[in-house]
Structure 1
């Protein structure tokens, strides 16, 4: 995220809020791996632009202020992220995932439990019989795992506020649940694979998978070791899927316990009756649905549909809603509840939990630099999700998709070429075009006419 962008957290801070982020941010590049975008090839006889003019926007993402989530920064002596960090007065970072989490957590581990360093990472593990890709039975005890660290740091931050009259915004961000699957201690076998629901795709015999599933299955059949370091969707067996679900359940239960500790800190600090608590996630995982694991350019509900809980001690209680919303609506909704005006150009809308209206459709844009065989080079896909339908338009080699979510909630039958749905398809394409127009950036705004 370019530093020129205004965040909703900056607006809260400017309105007098104390702000903090404890855990994973994912606002900047999180690896030191070279980009997979091919550099522009300049022609013989033509003058190539200098480095500061090579892109249409003059933002150098390779300058040091964009290194705060990369190993090149945290490998230095005494790394300190300048504050405020995108509006956060306090920032305690936890980078990466699983038992290999880095940032401030890794520094804390070295200083407070140096004997645990040999177990930090994914090399040392207890023996186990799981075959699921990236199932790692870490030797890190629960109290030295990143989830516990985040809960402890968040609780301490809250407890220090007892008696403080200033409003605050605290973002507590757990890297789990996510692959690799590394729930520590009792959370490893808290759930058994045989207790997990079997993914629908393993129970049907007449499903003709889309090409990207067929390619994933073909690639995995040729190389069973593919999943060891894979970051994108991977074909799996039923047993692997059930194991992934069980281990994910363990990670979620550990977060449940960690959230309980943070909530206890609110109570101890006498803040629970005046603090809105929000629970959500950035994405899902296939976890065996459509015979896949992890995530990629696929637009299935298991990836795009995440929970959202708005717990306002002075608001409505016990209500469930199927209203559509988008991630960018969260910041706008928080500002609305805080009675802080959003800045010009913010595209989120106020959610119904804060008095706004539900969206007619949700809009998703997927843009990735990494070539995926089934989706082509630098895959892009734009999707709208209606209460009854999901329409996805892919750039490149992948087939477009239309699903009737009411008749086919498991998204098994692509209706894009079905004549009976042609009018629905054209109506949704029209809606997608309208949303694309609405999503065009209009800032900076002109300062005069003409």
Structure 2
């Protein structure tokens, strides 16, 4: 048994916890991902720290909540001087690599502003976590396209190797786009809705790409991951590799055979498609807000049955391609000298409503569709339980990797080492906190500020509190797993709300950063 195993962390983008064969999906087949669960542990209560891309990815790297690491919503870069668990592995002698989507810095030059008043246009009025003039453009897709010399400055948040992909669908940027231009010439003629192949889907974000399967981002990431493994596994040096797929995030562009691998007719609508009893004003606004006909979708939306089942079928196709890619990467691991010394982990950065409550995509409603993600852990040298009900968070991944590697962490890590939960399934916390700070103003919240939500999850209950609102959400997780009855205003739950409010206050106090701890008193 080695105390310094290698690690491969597989990560998808916008995948629900129940969209895996091993999680009971009735149609989707994911045999290669299921094999990770079959040889290890599947956490059935895996939650994000924040249900939006950049904040949760920053929480993964730092093992710290968004309110502490500084990435509270999309458009904010993770400060370059942040400590990450990958930094710790690198200092401990690990080779480190990231292949695919990073999204620790914005993909564009668009300013992240709260849009309230003239003062917001003056950067000198803002509280800053980074020095004025610091530029975060390593992952900027336009700069990658315009400047052939633009590249990632390494090490990048602890990664010594980074094969970069930005954006989603068939229009990816970064290193993949540069590769497309070198190998396919005028590749632009193969991508986008204007060049797509014929189909009869009604969703405007369903794009039947003409890009060949072998040129699609999932295949490009797969090939580079295999190359990394083959280059490192004959060495005595352990490695940490993060393989990050941009799929199955919309737009829905599964290439080649994956386009019609699943049919909308095979997809069943979720039980909650009909809606929720006692929904909040924000929830009802989204339930009743239909996109303009033909408008390209990008955020939480109300959908009809056909739109929902189309998105499900194409998502399944994208996941099938990811599963096939993971099968090839796992084959490279299995053929290597470190096959019996490599821990494999699988998760996603957040979920998707995927028809729950008649909604698609993600937005400021902290329902399980976007809060719960897959969380699989397979260690060939350690005993494990098949499933665990423990409440676990994205911030726990890095903490557990460091513990397994025997690597020294840093002061301020908020994640929990899951070693005992992996071995016995035992609980690791009594309650779990999810933060959600939006970045798009929503009129229903009164002052048109982006919603700010804090959600507390216990084994039995889940409560979401919205800043400056007298409404919220309360669900009995055991009696109402589909979250179809909001008990916030139910008189019978008054004492439950009081108890959960006290527990939430404890979690909020616990989350406040205590790093650095004082070394002297007085």
Deviations 1:67-115 (A, max 9, x none): 1122343232311111000000001111011111111000011112225
Q: Is the 8 A contact 2:141 2:166 kept in 1?
A: no
Which residue of structure 2 lines up, in the alignment, with residue 201 of structure 1? 272
Which residue of structure 2 lines up, in the alignment, with residue 232 of structure 1? 299
User: How far apart are the structure 1 equivalents of 2:277 and 2:202?
Assistant: 25
Which residue of structure 2 lines up, in the alignment, with residue 404 of structure 1? 476
Q: How does 1:241-280 map to 2 (within 5 A)?
A: 241-280=308-347
Deviations 1:326-375 (A, max 9, x none): 11111001001101122111111112227885221221001122113444
User: How far apart are the structure 2 equivalents of 1:372 and 1:398?
Assistant: 16
Report the 3-state secondary structure (helix = DSSP H, G, I; strand = E; otherwise coil) of the residue aligned with 1:22: strand
Q: How does 1:33-72 map to 2 (within 5 A)?
A: 33-38=110-115, 41=118, 54-57=125-128, 59-60=130-131, 63-64=134-135, 66-72=136-142
Deviations 1:263-282 (A, max 9, x none): 11112223221100000101
Does the alignment pair 1:360 with 2:430? yes
Relative to 1, partners in 2 of residues 1:121 and 1:103: Cα closer, same or farther, differing over 3 Å?
Answer: farther
Does the alignment pair 1:108 with 2:175? no
Q: How does 1:176-191 map to 2 (within 5 A)?
A: 176-191=247-262
Q: Is the 8 A contact 2:203 2:294 kept in 1?
A: no
Q: How does 1:151-166 map to 2 (within 5 A)?
A: 151-166=222-237
Structure-1-length-normalised TM-score? 0.92
Q: How does 1:163-178 map to 2 (within 5 A)?
A: 163-178=234-249
Q: Is the 8 A contact 1:281 1:306 kept in 2?
A: yes
Deviations 1:227-276 (A, max 9, x none): x1x32200000111111111111111100000011111112223221100
Gaps of 5+ in 2: 1-77
Deviations 1:393-442 (A, max 9, x none): 01145831101111111101111111111111111111100000000012
Q: Is the 8 A contact 1:133 1:240 kept in 2?
A: no
Does the alignment pair 1:85 with 2:156? yes
Does the alignment pair 1:150 with 2:217? no
Q: Is the 8 A contact 2:253 2:259 kept in 1?
A: yes
User: How far apart are the structure 2 equivalents of 1:57 and 1:116?
Assistant: 40
Q: Is the 8 A contact 2:412 2:514 kept in 1?
A: yes
Q: Is the 8 A contact 1:336 1:354 kept in 2?
A: no
User: How far apart are the structure 1 equivalents of 2:352 and 2:429?
Assistant: 24
Report the 3-state secondary structure (helix = DSSP H, G, I; strand = E; otherwise coil) of the residue aligned with 2:393: coil
Structure-2-length-normalised TM-score? 0.80
Residue in structure 2 matching 1:326, options 379, 389, 393: 393
Shift of 1:136: 0.9
Shift of 1:168: 0.4
Q: Is the 8 A contact 2:280 2:472 kept in 1?
A: no
| RMSD of Structure 2 on Structure 1 (CA) | 2.3
Q: Is the 8 A contact 1:236 1:293 kept in 2?
A: yes
User: How far apart are the structure 2 equivalents of 1:378 and 1:61?
Assistant: 25
Which residue of structure 2 lines up, in the alignment, with residue 140 of structure 1? 211
Higher relative contact order (CA 8 A, sep 6+): 2
User: How far apart are the structure 1 equivalents of 2:95 and 2:390?
Assistant: 31
The size of the alignment, in residue pairs, is: 439
Does the alignment pair 1:348 with 2:425? no
Q: Is the 8 A contact 2:208 2:255 kept in 1?
A: yes
Q: Is the 8 A contact 2:100 2:244 kept in 1?
A: yes
User: How far apart are the structure 2 equivalents of 1:431 and 1:58?
Assistant: 29
Which residue of structure 2 lines up, in the alignment, with residue 2 of structure 1? 79
Which residue of structure 1 lines up, in the alignment, with residue 7 of structure 2? none
Q: Is the 8 A contact 2:168 2:250 kept in 1?
A: yes
Q: Is the 8 A contact 1:362 1:386 kept in 2?
A: yes
Report which stretch shifted further, 316-325 or 86-95. Answer: 316-325
Report the 3-state secondary structure (helix = DSSP H, G, I; strand = E; otherwise coil) of the residue aligned with 1:383: strand
The higher radius of gyration belongs to 1
Which residue of structure 1 lines up, in the alignment, with residue 503 of structure 2? 431
Which residue of structure 1 lines up, in the alignment, with residue 55 of structure 2? none
Relative to 1, partners in 2 of residues 1:314 and 1:339: Cα closer, same or farther, differing over 3 Å?
Answer: same
Does the alignment pair 1:295 with 2:365? no
